[in-house]
Amino acid sequence: MRSRGYLLLTFTLLGTLGWGVNSAPQSQAPQTARQALLEMFFSKSSGTFAKHLPAAMLAALAESGAMANLNQFALMGGQLEHQQKNLQTFETGSVLLTAENPTTASKIEVIVDNDTLRGDQDDIELSFQAYKNGAAERTPFMPQMTFSMKEELGIWKLNEVSVTIHVPLADPDLLKTMVTAMKVQAARSAAATGVETTSQGAGNDAAVVAAMRTIVTAETTYATTYRPIGYTCTLTDLDGFGGSERNEHQAMLINAGLAGGKRYGYVFTLSQCTGTPASSFYLTATPSNSIGRRAYCADPTGIVRYSPDGSAASCLKSGTPVQ
């Protein structure tokens, strides 16, 4: 049943682009494996899809009561043709089919990379090439597929489908796409938290605000748990590692990385824990490289504020609340 999913993936790809079928007449010579593959998906005759499935699979489908599901494959070619676009199939040559959508100026070719006949088995290896406005497009994620056809009682059957997807990690187009996607995600995160991003640390500011709120929440829990102490001005007191039980020097409220005071290109500092027990505190986060970055600050109220000049003092004095 795994091969069925791969087939649906491949030919649904063509269907969603709005392509119809214009198949050349079949030869009167004995049918080749390639002709059988085309007939299986693009013939108008009923039963041709099932005709090219192995007998073992047909028996399993019949036993499970799933034979009716074959209709979705059998009707696929007719649905494509009904859309009256340009799809051509080729029984010989280096191209298996071409599909063109004039509305979007797009075209795709299914290319026969290899057609290896060994006795009663024929492995047809296919790749894909997309075009836009007549120019070839570089598409790193286009799959390569192998349709293994095998003869049963003189009829070519689809015995196996293999799909390979190559991910070229050094491909410049792939890397450009990844960077663009990450920048878009960072911008969305910043918009959701009311934080701007900069070229020096795009996307980090949202994480800094989240870290600030984590520390403030930890301070509130700490002061409630250790009432004689109140708030702490030592970040490592909020840490979660070092022993088997919680105590005032190991409250297990934040992770060790944040308790170290340096994350996301910022330095986190607690100060002004005055009184016994301490009834207040200031939390600041200043950029390691202050050029073009904000400073953030907070207190027991839980309101995180920022100052665009990167100064903790400015933030504490007249910072703007982060929405």
The predicted pLDDT at position 28 comes to 65
The predicted pLDDT at position 2 comes to 45
d(CA 285, CA 271): 11
Q: Which residue has the higher pLDDT, 200 or 244?
A: 244
Does 213 have pLDDT greater than 80?
A: yes
**Full-model pTM:** 0.48
Does 75 have pLDDT greater than 60?
A: no
For residues 149 and 183, membership in a common domain is answered with no
Does 204 have pLDDT greater than 50?
A: yes
For residues 73 and 212, membership in a common domain is answered with no
For residues 154 and 27, membership in a common domain is answered with yes
For residues 133 and 232, membership in a common domain is answered with no
Any residues with CB less than 8 A from the CB of 228 and at least 6 apart, and which?
276, 277
For residues 286 and 141, membership in a common domain is answered with no
The type of residue at 158 is L
**Structure tokens of 305?**
């504020």
Does 268 have pLDDT greater than 80?
A: yes
Does 220 have pLDDT greater than 70?
A: yes
d(CA 135, CA 107): 9
The average confidence (pLDDT) of the chain is 80
Q: Which one of 164, 181, 212 terminates a domain? A: 164
Instruction: Give the residues across from 191 on adjacent strands.
Output: none
For residues 43 and 115, membership in a common domain is answered with yes
Q: Which one of 164, 180, 197 terminates a domain? A: 164
For residues 6 and 144, membership in a common domain is answered with yes
The predicted pLDDT at position 74 comes to 53
For residues 153 and 178, membership in a common domain is answered with no
As a whole-number percent, the residues of the chain with pLDDT over 70 amount to: 76
For residues 154 and 178, membership in a common domain is answered with no
d(CA 167, CA 130): 17
Counting the structural domains of the chain, the total is: 2
Q: Which residue has the higher pLDDT, 75 or 235?
A: 235
Residue whose C-alpha is closest to residue 124's, from 38, 18, 13 = 38
For residues 86 and 124, membership in a common domain is answered with yes
The type of residue at 196 is E
Residue whose C-alpha is closest to residue 197's, from 152, 264, 256 = 264
What confidence tens digit (pLDDT) does each residue in 141-196 have? 678 899 999 999 999 999 999 998 877 787 777 777 777 777 767 655 554 444 44
Domain that holds residue 68: 2-164
Any residues with CB less than 8 A from the CB of 252 and at least 6 apart, and which?
239, 240, 241, 246
Does 305 have pLDDT greater than 70?
A: yes
Identify the band that residue 118 occupies on the pLDDT scale cut at 50, 70 and 90.
Answer: very high
Q: Which residue has the higher pLDDT, 77 or 141?
A: 141
d(CA 259, CA 245): 17
Q: Which one of 95, 130, 164 terminates a domain? A: 164
What confidence tens digit (pLDDT) does each residue in 125-137 have? 999 888 888 888 7
What confidence tens digit (pLDDT) does each residue in 27-47 have? 568 899 999 999 888 877 777
For residues 72 and 217, membership in a common domain is answered with no
DSSP letter assigned to residue 230: B
Identify the band that residue 61 occupies on the pLDDT scale cut at 50, 70 and 90.
Answer: confident
Long-range contacts of 157-161 (CB under 8 A, 24+ apart): 157/36, 157/52, 157/53, 157/54, 157/55, 158/3, 158/7, 158/36, 158/37, 158/40, 158/52, 158/53, 158/54, 159/54, 159/121, 160/3, 161/2, 161/3, 161/6, 161/7
Does 73 have pLDDT greater than 60?
A: no
What confidence tens digit (pLDDT) does each residue in 80-108 have? 554 446 888 999 999 999 988 888 888 88
